Chains A and B, each alone.
Chain A
Amino acid sequence: MSVSELLNGVVLYIAVIIGLTIVFALATVFFVKSWRRAIELGIEKAKLKKIVKSSIIFTIIPSLAIVIALFSLASVLGVPLSWFRLSVVGSLAYELLAAEMSVSGAGYDSLSQFITTNDIANVTKIMYVMGISIIGGIVFMIFFGKKVQMGMLNYQQTNKEWGTLAMSYFMLCIAVVFLPVEATKSTVHLMTLLTSAAFCYLHIAAIKKYNLKWLNDFVLANCLIIGMVSSVFWEKLLG
């Protein structure tokens, strides 16, 4: 049996489908629990439906990007494992890197070299390493999630005015760190970012001027699509 046959085998498919079913059920429980609590808090059903609709619309495009990552990853890690990794804990950005690092740690030159061998004994080794390396966030949440959230909330409540201001900087700091990194990667990155931001500004202006409140639900999804489409144009022009 080759590595590729094992990675696309029935046993792995069954194990992955069971794992994904549990995770999907878990997401459903989170959804039902938060929906019920929202109703208890007096949030109108119409508002909740609007949030659900907006979240679904927004999710589609990034999910298609994840599908593309799935197809690339599947060619080296097989379909079931790539499917599992991109649905649970993993991410579009880290998976290929984690796979490359795991394989090179196990003594191979590249993923493609590993996949063409018959060293099936090393498959589980690579799978364990890839699993262990990315669980930091989940382990942190199990042990410290509640403490960190409660600490932040208590700080905000006991320092009303200043606490509210301090908490508002967390989101802004994310922007301050990520914007220079993305904008300086290449001219195409910069232009794509600026195009998306410009369209966002146009959306905001149109909403204000023409009172198009319904457009609020689509701003981020529209900017994402326009930004991605513009990147093809910028790539041809500047790439």
Chain B
Amino acid sequence: MNSKYLDSIHRLGKIGSTFALLAMLGIPTVIAIVYNIMPDFGEIFKISSGLLIVFVPVAVSECISYMPVLGSASYITYITGNVLNLKLPVAINATNVAKTKQGTEENDVIVTLAVAISSMVTMAILAISILLITPLSPVFSLPSVQTATDYILPALFGGMFLPMLLDHTAGDYNVKRKLLPLLIPFVLLILLNSFVFSLDGYEGPALLVTIPVTILLARYFYKKGIIKMKLKEENEL
């Protein structure tokens, strides 16, 4: 990868993220100054600590787990939010459409392009919705529309994950028995989720355990020659 491009995109990402942080905390500050209602910051940190315990491990695990997919697009992804329900699928879709390989600069650029345009489109749609909030409210309040919205994640995951599970390649290689290392974590997660406790809301920490376990299993199968890799033929590339 071109280090000059990466350096500049990371610099832009850090500046942009700092702006987003300032905006996030600047808005309540403006309100506090204008209405003369500056809160007690000690109390804010006391209340925040409970939420931080829940949200920070999830956020950090997501940043690490999604990094190979999002690359340097992670900055604009986290700045504009809606990661799992929109930006991650957009990134995966762009990789599939462009047929680029993870870990290449082409893929990094394509994913950034896709996430940036997606962020702009969402912001535009939300702005238009605000202008049309009165006429749109009855449509979006329809029970069938509400129901369909409640099931957006399973509707998304079916179409998003199936091609991944059917794909027996990794970069320029065809891989035999690629799904084998996932079998044990998958069964354990089903059992844990069904009989011990629901992982709903704890997907981030679950990923932090699943990824190293899967990679260790894959390493074992790869070393033993159970997982076999072969360079793709010229016409497959």
Contacts and interface: CB of A to CB of B under 8 A. Distances in A.
Contacts, number: 524
Given A38-B110, A125-B47, A173-B65, A67 B218 contact: no
B170 A91 contact: no
Contacts of B71: 149
B138 to A, nearest CB: 10
Interface in A52-97: 52, 54-56, 58-60, 62-71, 74, 79, 81, 83-84, 86-94
A83 B126 contact: yes
B120 A43 contact: no
A166 B189 CA distance: 20
A47 B8 CA distance: 24
A113 interface: no
B175 to A, nearest CB: 6
B73 to A, nearest CB: 8
A171 B89 contact: no
Given A12-B27, A141-B63, A164-B103, A220 B125 contact: no
A105 B47 CA distance: 5
Contact of A68 (B54, B140, B190): B140
Contact of A194 (B140, B158, B203): B158
Contacts of A67: 125-126, 129, 136, 140
Interface of A: 1, 6, 11-12, 15-16, 19-20, 22-24, 26-31, 33-35, 37-38, 41, 43, 47-48, 50-52, 54-56, 58-60, 62-71, 74, 79, 81, 83-84, 86-94, 98, 101-102, 105-106, 120-125, 127-129, 131-142, 144-146, 148-150, 152-153, 156-157, 161-162, 164-185, 188-190, 192-201, 204, 216-217, 219-220, 222-232, 235
